Amino acid sequence: MSIPEKPALQLLIAAPRGFCAGVDRAIRIVELAIEKHGTPVYVRHEIVHNKYVVDTLRAKGAIFVEELDEVPEGVPVVFSAHGVPKSVPTAAQDRGLTYLDATCPLVSKVHRQAERLVAAGRHIVFIGHAGHPEVIGTFGQVPEGAMTLIEDVADAENFAPADPTNIAFLTQTTLSVDDTADVVATLQRRFPAIQTPRPDDICYATSNRQAAVKSIASMCDAMLVIGAPNSSNSVRLVEVAEREGTPARLIQRADDLDFGFLAGVTTLGITAGASAPEILVRELVERLSQRFTIDEQEVETNRETVSFKLPRGLEAAA
């Protein structure tokens, strides 16, 4: 009996995809801290939003906790790439803890902008998602009441500042470029004097990954995005594909794939959020190859060359 031929499947793999420079740096900080200080090294919150990455670092000796008071005396602690309120490093200093800040430098830039705007007497409109660690960290840079969270166009329409002539806006770095543009346009229409950040705060990696998805979505019958459900930039990639009219699903690992989603699909787009390592892309392609005859093509829309310096004290260990 002859073995039936596997159906053909064209894969269009978006580039850039996967790890950004901020994620690379954060993971390396944990690895180097373990090399320098030995185990365990504590990490407050997930270093980045990806279970595979967290589990890999845990296997190397990292212990992940939610709050600083779970960190025992005499061991180093790393703060996640999303950033933390000022109260967290202050509390670490008060306890005499050695800490390393793995906040993405692009998030740190937003923190400094927030401080400068408040020092200049402006009220900040912050465009972001309630409860996201980056939002919590940014709000924690300024006094309570100095910043108002705007999540969508409806919030922008309803916002009523005390002094409409003295406001500025900042944004969470991992938002949808299109959605943010709509919110910003609403704010600028209602408040012509609103101060705009220099440059735009949506990070290069978020913009590039969304542009890469846009470039292939219309050529695909469906798209798969590898990333965590609590990863803002990964969820936005799904939304970008769907906005282009292409059905899309978010999966964390190849084993999460429901092959029923691929019924009738002959061209499949694949990308990965900024916290997802390339090994998970290869894992997915391997799983697909068990059911299909794969024709794989990478579609590159931009080449990233950004890198960020490590914190002082870790460069020598690198």
Known catalytic membership, residue 298:
no
What are the strands of the beta sheet with 99-101, ordered from one edge?
A: 62-65, 41-44, 77-79, 99-101
CA gap 199, 122 in Å, rounded: 18
Angle formed at CA 224 by CA 220 and CA 226, multiple of 5 degrees = 145
Q: Given 66, 134, 239, 315, which residue is catalytic?
A: 134
Length of the chain: 318
CA gap 95, 92 in Å, rounded: 5
Structure tokens given for 178: 């299109």
The amino acid at 247: P
Q: Which residue has the tokens 């180093």?
A: 76
Whether the link from the prior residue into 16 is cis, omega within 30° of 0, is yes
**Pair 92, 84: CB distance under 8 Å:** no
Structure tokens given for 43: 């990490």
User: Rounded to the nearest 10 degrees, how much is the dihedral formed by the CA atoms of 231, 175, 223, 276?
Assistant: -40
Give 91: exposed, middle or buried? Use CB within 10 Å, 0-12, 13-18, 19+. Answer: middle
**Residues that are catalytic:** 134
